Amino acid sequence: MADFNGIVARFATEGTVGSVKPLGNGLINDTYVVRTEEADMPDYVLQRINHHIFTDVDVLQSNIEAVTAHIRRKLEESGADDIDRKVLRFIPVRGGGKTYHFDGESYWRMMAFIPGAHTLEAVTPESSRDAGRAFGEFQAMLVDMDADLKESIPDFHNMELRLRQLREAVALDKAGRVEGVRDILEEIESRADEMCLAERLHREGKLPKRICHCDTKVNNMMFDEHGQVLCVIDLDTVMPSYVFSDYGDFLRTGANKGDEDDRDLSRVEFDMDIFRAFTEGYLSSARTFLTPVEIDNLPYAAAMFPYMQAVRFLADYINGDTYYKIQYPDHNLVRTRAQMKLLHSVDRHTPEMRAFIASVAGA
């Protein structure tokens, strides 16, 4: 058990720590809510950063500080109200400028808890329209940022790299699980070229990298008491990437009628109502900067993300579950199958998606 009081004391927080309790269900970091005893003092979110995944915590926090400062400045310039609920505020450590503390074992950071806000695990067409607008706005606000952000996980959404990692896992077969998943591996390989389109377009100079969120899950947004989006959270993966990351990963999680790890594959279907609402919202704020190549390939992004996530879950399963937290032994395999099922459903809707995007983008 970590010495929470000792850790919190390292940060320039206000008030007296009352309680520290686990918060949320992220697969990567450990998150806690720190309640202060005084009613007029802020509460905080404390996180143990997974430094096996984010190996350069200094890069990670510099990216996050640069991005939140840029957004805060933009909100101030535009005269927005309630700014402290619209952008995260990281707490510096006492007597130093850094926003993280290393206790000899783990890296910790703290941010102000946003009062009266909540996250959602399920989406409706209304909230996904807002989400589309919010993630589009997030990208739009960062389009003119000069700071040179580094990739906090190099090649995070590089499909070619993810396939190489899967092939390495298969070659080593550390957990002796390859024999049991030959059918999925075969299907994945049969679509590998098609799914690496983004990297090819980028090499040909036809697809830019922009600052993206790269983990645009439904539960990475905060809503206010009226169900309005306040801000996007979980900024660890904010880095240069293709806009496909934010578009595709939202639909992967938000437009799945089942769960990411559903055992009942009949529940896993691509939800066109969510797709339409999210796409309308996204294009309303992102159309100002998106290129025709980016717009034309949004349906590809919707397919690539379930595919990429299947590749990642399957590689982890084959490696013996070293990356994602699991709740039972074949959890990563169940997740893989659910992502492949989602991909099949996306495939069936591709022509309809194309037509819809063309009508909205052309409008």
Min separation Cβ 275 and ligand GN1, Å: 18
Pick from 2, 15, 23, 26: which binds Mg ion (CB under 5 A)?
26
Nearest to 82 by CA among 114, 40, 124, 39: 114
Min separation Cβ 271 and Mg ion, Å: 21
Is 261 an interacting residue with respect to ligand GN1 (CB under 6 A)? no
Residue 130 or 151 with smaller CB distance to ligand GN1: 151
Is 316 an interacting residue with respect to Mg ion (CB under 5 A)? no
Is 309 an interacting residue with respect to ligand GN1 (CB under 6 A)? yes
Instruction: Please tell me the distance from the alpha carbon of residue 187 to that of residue 195, in angstroms, as a whole number.
Output: 12
Instruction: Please tell me the distance from the alpha carbon of residue 343 to that of residue 193, in angstroms, as a whole number.
Output: 16
Window of 21-29, 58-66, 119-127, 131-139 that interacts with ligand GN1 by CB under 6 A: 21-29
Residue 137 or 234 with smaller CB distance to Mg ion: 234
Min separation Cβ 315 and Mg ion, Å: 20
- The DSSP H or E segment spanning 343 is helix 331-362
- The DSSP H or E segment spanning 232 is strand 229-232
Residue 12 contacts residue 30 (beta carbons within 8 Å):
no
Ramachandran assignment for 229, one of left (phi > 0), alpha (psi -120 to 50 degrees), beta (any other): beta
Tell me the residue type at 151.
Answer: E
3-state secondary structure of 319: coil
Is 27 an interacting residue with respect to ligand GN1 (CB under 6 A)? yes
Nearest to 245 by CA among 274, 279, 210: 210
Is 125 an interacting residue with respect to ligand GN1 (CB under 6 A)? no
Instruction: Please tell me the distance from the alpha carbon of residue 73 to that of residue 331, in angstroms, as a whole number.
Output: 43
Q: Residues 95, 153, 73, 77: what is their CA dihedral angle, to the nearest 10 degrees?
A: -170
Window of 19-27, 66-74, 97-105, 285-293 that interacts with Mg ion by CB under 5 A: 19-27
Q: Which of ligand GN1, Mg ion, none lies near 294, with the C-beta cut-off 5 to 8 A by kind?
A: none
Q: Residues 146, 149, 155, 159: what is their CA dihedral angle, to the nearest 10 degrees?
A: -40
Residue 137 or 215 with smaller CB distance to ligand GN1: 215
Pick from 130, 137, 151, 234: which binds ligand GN1 (CB under 6 A)?
234
Pick from 28, 230, 283, 342: which binds ligand GN1 (CB under 6 A)?
28
| CA-based radius of gyration for the chain | 21
Is 23 an interacting residue with respect to ligand GN1 (CB under 6 A)? no
Token pair recorded at residue 149 = 């952000």
Find tokens 């686990």 and name the residue.
22
Residue 199 contacts residue 209 (beta carbons within 8 Å):
no
Residue 261 or 280 with smaller CB distance to ligand GN1: 261
Is 245 an interacting residue with respect to ligand GN1 (CB under 6 A)? no
Find tokens 């070293």 and name the residue.
322
Min separation Cβ 204 and ligand GN1, Å: 26
How many other C-beta atoms lie within 10 A of the C-beta of residue 354? 14
Pick from 130, 137, 151, 234: which binds Mg ion (CB under 5 A)?
234
Min separation Cβ 39 and ligand GN1, Å: 31
What Cα–Cα distance (Å) separates residue 57 from each residue in 25, 101, 107? 21, 10, 8
3-state secondary structure of 97: coil
Site string for ligand GN1, 330-359 (x = CB under 6 A): ------------------------------
Window of 23-31, 78-86, 187-195, 283-291 that interacts with ligand GN1 by CB under 6 A: 23-31
Residue 15 or 26 with smaller CB distance to ligand GN1: 26
Residue 99 contacts residue 93 (beta carbons within 8 Å):
yes
Pick from 15, 20, 23, 26: which binds ligand GN1 (CB under 6 A)?
26
Q: Which of Mg ion, ligand GN1, none lies near 237, with the C-beta cut-off 5 to 8 A by kind?
A: ligand GN1
Residues in contact with Mg ion by CB under 5 A are 26, 220, 234
Residues in contact with ligand GN1 by CB under 6 A are 26-28, 53, 215, 234, 237, 260, 309
